Amino acid sequence: MIRKSRAQSSSLFLMELILAILFFSITSAVCVQFFVKSHLLSQESKVLSQAVNECSNIAELYDSSDSIEEAFSLLEANYPGMITENGTDSFAIMYYDNTFLPCSKEDARYFLKASFTEENCMLKAIIKVTDPADSVIYELNTDHHTARRTDYEEK
């Protein structure tokens, strides 16, 4: 009889141990999901922050110029890898890798496209950062008024 009661107590202990392991494995699975979700949110916020910085930098250079030609010369001086086209459709394109460093088109993970227009004395720009799936990460619209110059104020 002693062996029989000992077998019951050990099977009860084994059942309790199994339930404790099950509880901790379920809890750890939930915690891992929280960690993964927080990591993904952190990555998204880093990308958004970098996109905002790049768009703001381009907008500041554009706002400091008096014409589209001057804006392109500023952009080309500050962003040597930028592809610019000045014509009826004036735009500039920059390619970035995962860490938002300039790269080639083939290695690009993010794209910055800035479209420029000039109407009367207003310079307008639409600056977008997108991913390869063409979903917009950040978009910035800026308008800049250029003063009309008289003959004696010309450069």
Report which residue type is found at 46.
K
H/E segment holding residue 82 = none
110 phi and psi angles, rounded to 5 deg: -135, 150
Which residue in 91, 62, 67, 97 sits closest to 78, CA to CA? Answer: 62
pTM score of the predicted model: 0.74
pLDDT tens for residues 11-49? 888 889 999 999 999 999 999 999 999 999 999 999 999
- The mean pLDDT of the chain is 85
Give the pLDDT of residue 52.
94
Q: With CA atoms as reference, report the closest residue to 79 among 98, 63, 55.
A: 55
- The model's pLDDT over 45-65, given as tens digits with 9 standing for 90+, comes to 999 999 999 999 999 988 888
